[in-house]
Structure 1
């Protein structure tokens, strides 16, 4: 499903659900058991994996050998030994781990490596493991929208815009001296790129023959250029332009909020403690700032936000972790910084997603939040 199809589908679905709520109706849920593919389809609808960053490792990471109905789903921020024991004890069928337990390629499966041991245990127990990670960060209404909402309502925009996942394409512009030459070139291009749709537009000129603009996918670029270079007029006039991918408004990494009602730094700290369910946060006051300084703009990035927040103009940064020098740079630029530790900036979204997921699943599927999942760091 393309992003365009997804957006249209979700918009239509949203309007339908809104109309149902206005009429006092409930959303019709699937009856009976659901298999793994059906649940994966729901997860894809809620947050397309194409929204994830290119470096990420998302999707179905462990698939059971024998398919079985999905009756119990466990949501966790991190898959650890204690979380896996919890999943085994509850006869879990699917673990949705926000962070991918498998990230780098592996050459073997041995129990002495704790992450590989988790995979072995999942396979032995017949438990599927799925990770959404940055697709949840990027999606509208996802982790970052939830995080920025902790300070209050405001006009929210995306810091790092997500782009369409459509294949990269190129525009080839060239000239042909006559209709005959143009026909010959196009026939050769279609022959070289059998099965590939090459869109072109030709504009005739009384003096220069024909000016052609042709769109081709990345896979067809090399053979198309090689074909054009065989002809005199195209070889002398050829220019190659990379077509920019279409932005997806509201989707992407990080958020910036212009608050409807400004707050003090002290108030923002208290509101984020409540929002994240924490007793302690770390605060670095921006240059010339105090606890009573006014916060009009807030920039957030769940997890490790240094690279996304770098250079963003805001009164306050909120993220899980930043390096020492990233904090110093932010403070020198006048921005105060709130750090919660990495997973504490993400974990609270699981409860939001639990409710969202349950609406789309069969009544026979139970969605549970892990009780064993916690940030490895604590204040002592």
Structure 2
């Protein structure tokens, strides 16, 4: 199939618009119309992973972490980033990264951590705002259903566990077309009064173009009247980190052993234990220290994340136990998540998990 078929599907689940400002998710090497037959899944795209892709005949590497974060000014093979990109291009291997956009969606990286730890009733820890908008349009009564359906099919009207959400009110629209008009109802040069339905529905900003195309195609009027409004509400299904609960509370020591075993961690750095049972747990794959206040406010007993610096551990102030399990350890199951997502959608497409441990950190025990 074409590369774009696979990447478009991934972006329907984790839109690029949901990535953080510093990130570089998306197609890094390759062309959307490139033919692909096999994909290799990895947490990181290293030289060894590219060599593995070459050996296995893969035309695509899907990694969680982007190989390129900053602009590259030279290609002289002096850094591993340059060498990876050069080798991929020489061997016609595409590289696609799905990073913080996959972190920030329900069912993404942090949901997988919750699943591995056995946390129930998990939800986004810090929902994002300013990524929703509201569309308002005015339609003749007889065509209201077809316009609503078109908007819903384009992705509008999702609120939590509910779909096809809209508010509809009746009113009267007035208009008068000039001599060049071709009105759906009424006559040019005459003011017309039409019984209309005002349809209001919300949508994520990344779907705006798709939504407007659907509106224009389904709406009967020659000139479509519509309004777009920014919505500052939080999007409960998009955001950073997650929080959930253990079915049965554990002691802190029992929970640490559970985390170490479940996440295959060589070592866990943690703050002072508080002598309290553990039930409510916040998680963030990778560098999640920025979510500490949210974890405390949400009543978490433990905060599982990575990349904590020495002085940052003091910020726990015995309000929560911070447990740094390691960056690779917190995100390693992302590979399996991506494998399952792609295989489920494209059953006849060859997907392979890397056999290389890309963790750059080694432990002397």
Q: TM-score category by the smaller chain? A: 0.5 to 0.7
Residue in structure 2 matched with residue 176 of structure 1 by the alignment: none
Match of 1:297 among 280, 297, 301: 280
Whether the 8 Å contact between 1:285 and 1:335 is mirrored in structure 2 is no
Whether the 8 Å contact between 1:155 and 1:259 is mirrored in structure 2 is no
Whether the 8 Å contact between 1:51 and 1:162 is mirrored in structure 2 is no
Residue in structure 2 matched with residue 129 of structure 1 by the alignment: 95
Distance in structure 2 (CA, Å) of the matches to 1:165 and 1:306: 23
Whether the 8 Å contact between 1:52 and 1:133 is mirrored in structure 2 is yes
Residue in structure 2 matched with residue 151 of structure 1 by the alignment: 117
Distance in structure 1 (CA, Å) of the matches to 2:232 and 2:7: 26
Q: CA deviation at 1:71?
A: 1.2
Q: CA deviation at 1:147?
A: 1.3
Q: Does 1:267 align with 2:254?
A: yes
Q: Write the deviation string for residues 34-74 of structure 1: whole angstroms up to 9, x where unpaired.
A: 11111111211232222211221110011159x54211111
SS of 1:86's partner is: helix
Whether the 8 Å contact between 1:301 and 1:309 is mirrored in structure 2 is no
What is the number of residues matched between the two proteins? 269
Alignment of 1:222-233 (within 5 A): none
Match of 1:248 among 235, 238, 244: 235
Q: Does 1:41 align with 2:8?
A: yes
Q: CA deviation at 1:150?
A: 3.3
Q: CA deviation at 1:137?
A: 0.6
Distance in structure 2 (CA, Å) of the matches to 1:51 and 1:163: 11
SS of 2:116's partner is: coil
Whether the 8 Å contact between 1:316 and 1:338 is mirrored in structure 2 is yes
Q: 1:243 to 1:47 in 2, by over 3 A?
A: closer
Match of 1:378 among 356, 359, 362: 362
Q: 1:359 to 1:151 in 2, by over 3 A?
A: closer
Q: CA deviation at 1:109?
A: 2.1
Distance in structure 1 (CA, Å) of the matches to 2:41 and 2:260: 22
Relative to structure 2, which stretch is displaced further, 44-53 or 270-279? 270-279
SS of 1:312's partner is: helix
Distance in structure 2 (CA, Å) of the matches to 1:167 and 1:128: 34
Whether the 8 Å contact between 1:322 and 1:339 is mirrored in structure 2 is yes
Q: Does 1:70 align with 2:36?
A: yes
Q: Could you tell me the TM-score, scaled by structure 2's length?
A: 0.68
Alignment of 1:88-107 (within 5 A): 88-107=54-73
Q: Could you tell me the TM-score, scaled by structure 1's length?
A: 0.65
Distance in structure 2 (CA, Å) of the matches to 1:117 and 1:279: 30
Residue in structure 1 matched with residue 301 of structure 2 by the alignment: 315
Distance in structure 1 (CA, Å) of the matches to 2:31 and 2:121: 44
Q: Write the deviation string for residues 281-330 of structure 1: whole angstroms up to 9, x where unpaired.
A: 333334xx24xx30122111110111122353121110022111111211
Q: 1:281 to 1:250 in 2, by over 3 A?
A: same
Q: Write the deviation string for residues 236-282 of structure 1: whole angstroms up to 9, x where unpaired.
A: xxxxxx94444322221111224332222122222222322334333
Whether the 8 Å contact between 2:132 and 2:235 is mirrored in structure 1 is no
Match of 2:20 among 53, 68, 71: 53
Relative to structure 2, which stretch is displaced further, 252-261 or 130-139? 252-261
Whether the 8 Å contact between 1:168 and 1:245 is mirrored in structure 2 is no
Q: Does 1:369 align with 2:353?
A: yes
Residue in structure 2 matched with residue 140 of structure 1 by the alignment: 106
Alignment of 1:72-221 (within 5 A): 72-163=38-129, 165=131
Q: 1:60 to 1:166 in 2, by over 3 A?
A: farther
Distance in structure 1 (CA, Å) of the matches to 2:286 and 2:35: 33
Residue in structure 2 matched with residue 276 of structure 1 by the alignment: 263
Q: 1:311 to 1:159 in 2, by over 3 A?
A: closer
Distance in structure 2 (CA, Å) of the matches to 1:373 and 1:352: 16
Whether the 8 Å contact between 2:126 and 2:294 is mirrored in structure 1 is no
Note the residue ranges of structure 2 that are not aligned, 5 or more in a row. 136-228
